[in-house]
Structure 1
Amino acid sequence: MRIIHVAVIAMLVFAAAYVYRIKMESTVRTEKVLQLHAEVRKEREAIAQLRAEWAKLDAPGRLQGLAERHLKLKPINARQFDQLKNLPERPPSIVNPGDPDPIASMIEKIDPDIITGSLPVPEAAH
């Protein structure tokens, strides 16, 4: 009979220790969740503060004041525009509209006698 009592007491102690371990793990996890909630709340508050600051910096009235203070812009008047007939001629197109490869067409039209870059001109053989 004593062996059964000792076994039951050992099982109860084991069960109590197991329940205590589960309780401690759940407490640690609960604290971690609460800490994460606090961090999320803190980050949301920081985001809200940054959005408010951005709205303040991006306000049209503030930008208008900065532009007037720092840029030497003048209002446009109707005399600043010219007629279309006074525009310069359009530069010639170096690419034909129907070319399937416009870059190859531009390369073909480059004058090979024009030397570009920093390479020296090759000297004649002695």
Structure 2
Amino acid sequence: MMRIIHLAVIGMLVFAAAYVYRIKMDSTARTEKVLQLHAEARKEREAIARLRAEWAQLDAPGRLQGLADRHLKLKPISARQFDQLKNLPERPPTIVNPNDPDPIASMIDKIDPDIITGSLPAPEAAQ
């Protein structure tokens, strides 16, 4: 009877040792995974810092001004580029009777509809 108890105790000790070893291996694997995730996060933070530094360099006003001077054929504004006051439309009356037609709408109605302004596509291209 004692031999059976001794064998059972030895079996339980072997089982307990195997279980503790399994727990230790699981915790080691999880620790390695956490360290790997920390290393990846550090690499990503460094990459973000590099990209921010590169963006700051690309977005520098002096660099952009140099590129604009080199690639855009812009000229300084001269006083002759502005229209004369006599060519401006007359100012609408300051007090408008509600029964009178809208003076701004009448100016808009006089605009040629074939003139394309801004970034709107031509009517044929829009269809």
* TM-score tier after normalising by the smaller chain length: 0.5 to 0.7
TM-score (norm 2): 0.66
- Structure 1 gaps of 5+ residues are 94-116, 118-126
Structure 2 match to 1:2: 3
Root mean square deviation, CA, Å: 2.1
Deviating above 4 A after TM superposition, structure 1's stretches of 4 or more consecutive aligned residues are none
Q: How many residues align?
A: 94
Structure 2 match to 1:90: 107
Q: How far apart are the structure 2 equivalents of 1:27 and 1:53?
A: 39
1:90 positional shift: 3.3
Structure 2 match to 1:99: none
Structure 1 match to 2:92: none
- Structure 2 gaps of 5+ residues are 90-105, 111-123
Structure 2 match to 1:11: 12
Q: How far apart are the structure 1 equivalents of 2:69 and 2:107?
A: 36
Give the percent of matched residue pairs that are identical in Structure 1 and Structure 2. 84
2:63 matched to 1:70?
no
SS of the equivalent of 2:41 reads helix
Structure 2 match to 1:41: 42
Structure 2 match to 1:21: 22
Structure 2 match to 1:54: 55
